[in-house]
Every structure is written in C-alpha cells, then in structure tokens.
Amino acid sequence: MKVMVAMSGGVDSTMTAKFLQEAGHEVQGCYMMLHQKPGYHEENIRKVKKVGEYLGIKVHILDLQEKFNEFVYDPFVKLYKEGKTPNPCALCNKFIKLGALLDFAKANGCEKLATGHYVQVIDGFITCAKDPSKDQSYFLAQVPKEILKDVIFPLGDKFKKDIKELARSVKVLEEFATQAESSEICFVEDTYIEVLNKHYNTNLPGNVVDKDGKIIGRHQGYMHYTIGKRRGFEVFGAHEPHFVIKINADKNEIVVGTKDDLAQKVVELENVNLFIDKDKFECETKIRYRSPKLDAFVEVDKENKTAKLTLNQNALGVAQGQLCVMYDGDKVIASGFIKG
C-alpha cells in the first residue's frame, strides 16, 4: 500500500515512517512548511532528508504557509484580540495535517496518510492512545469522521518510552531519540504574547472591574489574561485571591471574582463536530486538554452545529475559544468550541 507520512524531523514521525516501511508499505515522506519562525525549517528539513536517505524513500517539501495562515495563525491572533483563548492545534489537525496534507497525499497516488500522533482509530472512532501520558485524541476531535478511513496512526498502540528506546537502537536515528520534545504550539517561540505583539499593542493598561462593573483595579493589557488567571493585575486593597472570570475586549477590561465565581455548569458550544447520529446523549467531557473528564448531558442543534452541555458538577476556568471534547469511554463522540 502507498502511504504518505507527515514528517517533522522528530522521533515520532521518523519511527512512523520506519514502522510502515518494515510492514511492507511503499512509503513517501512529506515535510510541511507552515510558518516563518526564524531558523525553524532548515534544521528540520535537514533531519527529514537524512531519514529519507536512510530509509530510501522520496521526501516532499510542501509549502502550506498560506493555508496555515488562513485557517490557523490568523484565527489564533483574531481570537486573542476578541478576548478568547484559541486552540490552534485542533484547527491545524483539521485543516492542515489531516486536511491539505491528505489532499496532497491522494494527489500523489497514496492510499493512506500516516502521522505520528498518539491516537487510535477503532471502529471508525478516534480513540485514546494506549499511552495516556501522550494521548492526542483531544486535538484530533474536530477532524471530520469521513476522513478517518484514509488515515493511520501507527503509534497509537505504543508507548513513547518504547519509541525513543527503539530509535536509540538505530545509529542514524540517535539524534532524534535524544532531542527535546517539541512545544505544543509550533509557531510560538516563548509566549503567545510575543506573537500578538507583532500585530497589536498588547500593553494598553485598562480597568479591572468586579461582577457589578465597579472599578476595583488596573491591568496591563487584556490580551495578557485568560479565564482563571489570578496574577498580573492589581486589585486595590485586596486581601483574598481574585481570578479573571470574563474579558471584555471591546472595553479593554477584565472582570474578576472569587474562585466560586469561576464555577460553571452549563457550557454553550459552536462548530460542533459529531461522530454519532444523536442530538441528545450523556458523555464524559474535557473542557481543555489537561482537564479531568466530567460527566455531562449534551443537547445538539445539528442544523446550526451548536450544542448545550450541562455538567453534573461545576467546572472551573471555562474559556471561550477552547475546545470541548466529548467521550464515550475512550472514544471521541463529539467536539465543539466553547462560545459562552
């Protein structure tokens, strides 16, 4: 079978290509240029070409910067300007890695696209990886169900520590086995604020207000804050912790309250992606990547791709723009972006 492998120059994509070749598949590699982070691509392309030579496979260099800007980078900047907290990796997986790259793979005669994601596809559902510490099912939950038949994830049933150990045993791959883990957001060097500073003045001081709109302090620029943050702003005469509970971007204003004020049981979603044909169901849900799963009841408006999520217990730090993913056990059954 002809398989295109998304290759980054890292250990996971490298071992993905090696496993598939050892399984007898006709493998091609593809490195995607997605952004213009200084010095980022040159070293990665060198590594990818080195792997290509070692495996004896063709390696494509695909410039997807225009699409990446349209579907990932520009929305990232726009959402922060609106006072929301974006999830660029979910958009990148949907539109770029398992979107534009899949189209490229098919155009080059490949039957399947493979990536180094730690996730499984079982019975047509995105399913959690065997290694829970590396599971990426959350970030793939916006991918359309119909494309799952065209993608494979060879690392989904493996543990990262074993992958690195196997890479160490191959002489040409030693440098990949010992390299540091990549950051979650590839185009961010240190902080997201550095990205936003290229487009906006993020350091415009503004008012901190309470739930009633009373001015109680000052902040350093609303884009520095996300829901749940408790530092970096001043509350006059405060004797207890205050948390950001809302961001009014149009007023350059942040609303703060107690930890109890962060609690939320009802969550509204938009751009809902369904993997099951139901408009009402119970599930476990994650309101952000690192959050624990919470029991919930979901009501979906399929026509408008919106949903209302009612949690069985309060969630803290529910942030507009973040991805909410719904599970049935280890299976992803739906996802949507938090709108309020």
Catalytic residue, chosen from 30, 89, 92, 128, is 92
Active site residue 324: no
DSSP per residue, 212-280: T--EEEEES-GGG--TT--SSSEETT--S--EEEEEEGGGTEEEEE-HHHH-EEEEEEEEEEESSS-SE
Beta strands in the chain (DSSP E): 2-6, 26-33, 58-63, 112-114, 119-122, 125-128, 151-152, 206-209, 215-219, 234-235, 243-248, 253-257, 264-274, 280-286, 294-301, 306-315, 323-328, 331-338
Q: Which two tokens stand for residue 273?
A: 């992606």
Q: Count Cα neighbours of 42 within 13 Å in the Cβ-side half-sphere.
A: 3
Catalytic residue, chosen from 30, 89, 128, 186, is 186
Active site residue 92: yes
Q: Which two tokens stand for residue 137?
A: 């099912």
- Is the separation of the CB atoms in 302 and 278 below 8 Å? no
The answer for residues whose C-beta is within 8 angstroms of residue 60's C-beta and 6 or more apart is: 28, 29, 30, 31, 104, 108
Crossing angle of the two packed helices 160-168 and 11-22, in degrees rounded to 10: 80
- Is the separation of the CB atoms in 255 and 211 below 8 Å? yes
3-class DSSP assignment, residue 310: strand
**Catalytically active residues, by annotation:** 92, 186
